Structure 1
Amino acid sequence: MMYFKKRFIFWNKGISSVLLFVSLFYNVAFAQDNSAHNPILFADVPDLSMIRVGDTYYMSSTTMHMSPGVPIMKSKDLVNWSIVNYAYDTLANIDALNLVNGESTYGRGSWASCIRYHNGFYYVSTFAQTTNKTHIFKTKDIEKGPWETISFSPAYHDHTIFFDDDGHIYMIWGVRKLRMIELKDDLSGVKDGTERILIEDTNIPSGSNSGLGEGSQLFKVNGKYYLFNITWPRGGMRTVVIHRADKITGPWEGRLALQDLGVAQGGLIDTPDGKWFAYLFRDFGSVGRIPYLVPVKWEEDWPVIGVNGKVPETLDLPASKGLIPGIVNSDEFDPKKGEPALPLVWQWNHNPDNSLWSVTERKGFLRLKTGRIDSLFLKSRNTLTQRTFGPECSGIAKLDVSNLRDGDFAGLCALQRKFGQVGVKNVAGKKYVFMVTNKTDTPMELESFPLSQNQVYLKIECNFRDKADIARFFYSLDGKTWTVIGEPLKMEYTLMEHFMGYRFGLFNYATKKPGGFVDFDWFRVN
């Protein structure tokens, strides 16, 4: 995916004709480039699982502690995707997911999902360390639901569900030592006595010097079984490994399938006209884990991934139309009749308290109300989020802060463990614009000054180009003239704590007395 800014030519005698020629050549070349580009989505869409039903593709992904969870995305061409549903509104009603009693589930929640279509039903399964359960969601209408929910213990790590031709239903899971079980016909649990070690040998061909990793995804093509996993050589990069067998019980033979750019973990998808691709993802700094498509050709019944073993930049697929509005989008907070209150691009940080937000109490505004006291931003409820995206993006919000109470903080944030905030606070009845950074894990206010009006505009610009990972913070009193506030934040993707790419977030929390509220007039992404 490529993005280009308009280039303006300033005429200078002697070089104007050269510059004009170069500009015209550049623009014509770009206009003729109708191919798709990697990454397919320059945004945090990790742990992909994908199916094709007829001419329509569906993909599920990981969003951890966010609610609703397990996004379902739809495409007609493998390139242009839109969120059409979620597998669940809330995973469970427990303290860690509700952000109450000092508990949270950052870095956990639901992890790698598996999406399948079988006998007219769609199945999406996931697992959660937070609940220590495996969760399976079933529906006939993947875009509208409703979903039937099944869960059982334990949480089977990075599992793949497989409906075999003979009616048996299997699940493969594990890290390094891969195991297999058979599920009951109604998927309500495991058949007794069916657990077995599927692949125990940790010596992967081609000298990768590491054991088999995780991320199991199983496929059957022309009667043979193909199991995708990753390995991660010490000091090296994430690598695709494929095992093949004539029977699901083995014996299995494995080979290293792709080792380039760290693009790995995923599986196989084919197109109606017979093309094959591997869908994979790449760790790309603070924007998160971004999806790639890599061409596949078949040689001696093995899927061969890449072009001469490399991930190509361009693909024989239609060009991307961008992530707006399918994956990220602006919101005027004025839903039309029949539309959801909030577009599907939004997710709450943990389970929301639905009594404390509204888009109807003041038409055309999102109202976030406070209902308790919070001393830490990351432990406060009802922060509304959506993805940042690359290579560069901005999020802008207009706020009415008339009804903030003493001790209230409201505004716009770049959300991860090492977050940055630009917002408005009420201190003893007076309002101040502020900027806070958490880059040292101790929130520090870097700048604040009095605000003499109740309307304010806030902006965060994110630069992920070449992993620059810089966020800058701005405010405006009229929405036209912008002033930098505080300092740039060096964004950092943290694995063990939040384990997701940075998100734009709209927040409001009380530190002294609940009952205040803030009205967001709109939020716009560029």
Structure 2
Amino acid sequence: MTRRRLWTTVLTALAVTCATALSAPPAQTAVRAETTFTNPVLWQDFADIDVIRVGNAYYYSASTMHYSPGAPILRSYDLVNWEFAGHSVPRLDFGAKYDLNGGRGYVRGIWASFFNHRASNDTYYWGGCVDFAKTYIYTSTTVDGQWSKHATLNKCYYDAGMLVDDDDTMYVAYGNTTLSVAQLSKDGTTEVRSQQVFQTPSNIGTLEGSRFYKRNGSYYIFVTRPANGQYILKASNPFGPYTIQQVLLNLPGPIQGGGVPHQGGLVQTQNGDWYYLAFVDAYPGGRVPVLAPVTWTADGWPRLQTVDGRWGTTYAKPNLPPPPRQVEPMTGTDTFPGPGLKPQWEWNHNPDTTKFSVSNGLRLSTATVTNDLYAARNTLTRRIQGPTSTATITLDLTAMRDGDRTGLAMLRDSSAYIGVKREGGRNRIVMVNGLTMDGNWNTTGTGTEVASTPLNGNRIWLRANADIRPGSGRQARFSYSTDGVNFTSLGSPFTLNNAWQFFMGYRFAVFNHATQALGGAVTLQRFDLTTP
């Protein structure tokens, strides 16, 4: 994935001006507040978007790298309000490093994959290239049901998009700069043929992130010039020849301090309207989805609707039927009733399933003996809600053992946490920073304790407040409570790293690991994610 940022230094020198080669309709007139939506439609880290509609529901797949389960699926009925539905990849079954066993899968795993629905067998397909070596395809008859591995292809469909054609043939567009199209077998388990269909001109540079569509008899490959442009290829045959037009370049985005919207997908509504769901680089929080309407010219090319020469902060809401129900909020409280975790949660690498249980609380037994949080198994993560939000956890410490470490972290390649250390039969509340990794994701710092205070009793409330607005100098602050009401700050504010190289944004993370011997446990009784 690091290939995706070779152009970053070029972007920093570009003026933030709109250089759209395609003429856009005039800026829209003001509409009543109750008929509009505001970008970002969801301020959480969901990148490399593939979006589809099945009936009256919309589904959205995103990258998760080393987090497990992988490839989350979001659901919406209006393209604006989204909820978690499930994951396409139940477990990262791609080698021991994804178990934190003899290696690490940081910044590998699930990225820029394809997601689609095949009407003929009412089946959903997800596929992605892992470790730049093999492409894995998973299927399910329901997005929120059980997904299973369908096929493994011994080639890399790099940054791929899937089209199910009118005759039910499945095609995959993929590649970086040199773009190709593959035809799959009828059962989707093998490749019938593959052919190069386009070579990106040198004056454009890199094109990747393919999404594959068919409209009015024409085939389209929607591709990204990372991270500041979007182009589209058009042909009368899936194997070309293709012609190209620019959709946007250096278009100012709707998030102050964020980047240019790019690398997403097109989707058509029940009423025939089209929308583009893209993401904006918005570190330290990650890559955040934004939505805009699209129109088409008489000769079949898309035009993005801009507002005052930029991707609009506000647009009219899509004209859609009333939703059958309200979607589940992305914030709120989880008391872990069981029997499993809700799809909002993802582990740092694959968990040891023998070391946790969910029933009126999440019991986390220590799964690793280490002094390195990045090497500890069974660290549970949750995306941060932007632009600022607060996570509060309630922990029962009764079963902790000497040498155990538990707490709430701001997790990324530069991390900090508030937690509890048990030593000599006593507990201390600590704030620790200086947990770091290098560019190869090897640990370079296991943390420095900067503040501590004794803890009497076996119940603790830990809190992290995070400001993830794009830019440098954003901070997280930690506090604790012994009664769940009165909170006391601990340690110094932690400055978040807003570099892009880790790709994923910061997450709230709950951990419990041993430094001496296994056998201890804590119970996460409650998790609250709130916004101001």
> Which category describes the TM-score, using the shorter chain as reference length?
0.7 to 0.9
Q: CA–CA distance in 1 between the matches of 2:189 and 2:480?
A: 53
- The DSSP-based 3-state class of the residue aligned with 1:286 is coil
Contact 1:65 1:106 in 2 (8 A): yes
Counterpart residue number, 2:8: none
**2:179–2:197: 8 Å Cα contact kept in structure 1?**
yes
Distance 2:245 2:435 in 1: 42
Show the 5 A alignment for 1:405-420.
405-420=401-416
**Aligned residue pairs: how many?**
476
Q: Determine the structure 1 residue equivalent to 2:222.
A: 228
- 1:238 aligned onto 2:228: yes
Question: What's the counterpart of residue 18 of structure 2?
Answer: none
Partner of 1:216: helix, strand, or coil? strand
What residue number does 1:314 align with?
Answer: 314
Structure 1 residue 324: deviation in Å?
8.8
Q: Which residue of 1 aligns with 2:45?
A: 44
Distance 2:312 2:94 in 1: 44
For 2:201, the aligned partner's letter is: T
TM-score of the two chains, using structure 2 as the length reference: 0.84
CA RMSD of aligned residues (A): 2.4
The verdict on how the C-alpha distance between 1:212 and 1:440 changes in structure 2, with shifts beyond 3 A counting, is closer
- Segments of 5+ residues of structure 2 without an aligned counterpart are 1-29, 254-259, 438-444
Alignment of 1:367-446 (within 5 A): 367-438=363-434, 441=437, 442=445, 443-446=447-450
Q: What is the Cα deviation at residue 299 of structure 1?
A: 1.4
- 3-state SS of paired residue (2:176): coil
Q: Are residues 42 and 146 of structure 1, via their aligned partners in 2, closer, same or farther at CA, if it must alter by over 3 Å?
A: closer
Note the 1:98-497 alignment, pairs <5 A. 98-101=99-102, 103-118=103-118, 119-130=120-131, 132-145=133-146, 147=148, 149-191=150-192, 194-203=193-202, 209-232=203-226, 237-259=227-249, 260=251, 261=253, 262-300=260-298, 301-307=300-306, 310-317=310-317, 325-335=328-338, 340-360=339-359, 364-438=360-434, 441=437, 442=445, 443-467=447-471, 469-496=474-501
Task: Quote the Cα distance in structure 2 between the aligned partners of 1:243 and 1:482.
Answer: 56
- Percent of aligned positions that are identical: 33
Q: Which residue of 1 aligns with 2:512?
A: 508
CA apart distance, 1:33: 4.0
Displacement of 1:298 in angstroms is 1.2
Q: Deviations over 1:362-415 (max 9, x none)?
A: xx3221101441121111010111110101100001112222111110011111
What amino acid maps onto 1:518 in structure 2? V
Of 448-457 and 42-51, deviating more is 448-457
Q: Shift in Å at residue 76 of structure 1? A: 0.8
User: How far does residue 487 in structure 1 lie from its aligned partner after superposition?
Assistant: 1.6
CA distance in 2: counterparts of 1:380 and 1:439, whole angstroms: 13
In 1: Cα distance, 2:31 partner to 2:236 partner = 47
Q: How big is each residue's C-alpha offset from its partner over 1:179-212, in whole Å with a ceiling of 9 and x where there is no partner?
A: 2222222222222xx3322111424xxxxx4413
Cα distance, 1:263–1:392 mapped onto 2, change above 3 Å? same
Amino acid at match of 2:487: W
- Alignment correspondent of 1:54: 55
Q: Distance in 1 between matches of 2:329 and 2:349?
A: 22
Contact 2:43–2:385, Cα closer than 8 Å, also in 1: yes
Aligned to 1:285, the other structure's residue is in SS state coil
How far is the alpha carbon of 1:32 from its aligned partner? Answer: 4.5
Change (3 A) 1:146 1:439: closer
**TM-score, normalised with respect to structure 1:** 0.85
CA gap 1:389/1:493 in 2 versus in 1, 3 angstroms: same
Name the amino acid aligned to 2:215. V
Cα distance in 1 between the residues matched to 2:31 and 2:310? 24
Partner of 1:15: none
Match of 1:519 in 2: 523
Decide whether aligned partners of structure 1 residues 73 and 252 sit closer, same or farther in structure 2, where only a CA change above 3 A counts.
same
Q: 1:350 to 1:466 in 2, by over 3 A?
A: closer
Q: CA deviation at 1:436?
A: 1.1
- Give yes or no for contact 1:87–1:137 (8 Å, CA) kept in 2: yes
Deviation at 1:445, TM superposition (A): 1.5
Distance change (3 Å), C-alpha of 1:110 and 1:509 = same
Go from structure 1 to structure 2 and tell me whether the alpha carbon gap of 1:287 and 1:146 turns closer, same or farther (over 3 Å shift).
Answer: closer
Report if the CA contact (8 A) 1:258-1:306 is conserved: no
Instruction: Indicate if the aligned counterparts of 1:113 and 1:158 stay in contact, CA closer than 8 A.
Output: yes
Query: What displacement does 1:325 show?
Result: 4.0
For residues 373 and 117 of structure 1, the distance between their equivalents in structure 2, rounded to whole angstroms, comes to 43
Q: 1:195 to 1:489 in 2, by over 3 A?
A: same
Mapped contact 2:76–2:327 kept (Cα < 8 A): no
Deviations 1:431-477 (A, max 9, x none): 11111113655222211222122211100001123546321111112
Give the partner amino acid of 1:438: G
Please give the secondary structure, in 2, of the residue aligned with 1:97.
helix
Structure-1 residue corresponding to 2:79 = 78
Provide the C-alpha distance between the structure 1 equivalents of 2:356 and 2:239, rounded to a whole number of angstroms: 52
Letter in 2 for 1:315: Y
In structure 1, C-alpha distance between the alignment counterparts of 2:147 and 2:215, rounded to whole Å = 31
Letter aligned with residue 355 of structure 2: L
Instruction: List runs of 5+ in structure 1 lacking aligned partners.
Output: 1-28, 204-208
Residues 310-365 of structure 1: CA deviation (Å, up to 9, x unaligned) = 2111122179x9x9944444211224xxxx421111111111111111123xxx32
Distance in 1 between residues matched to 2:230 and 2:185, nearest whole Å: 31
Contact 2:285 2:469 in 1 (8 A): no
CA distance in 1, matches of 2:456, 2:498: 37
In 1, Cα distance between the equivalents of 2:358 and 2:223? Answer: 44
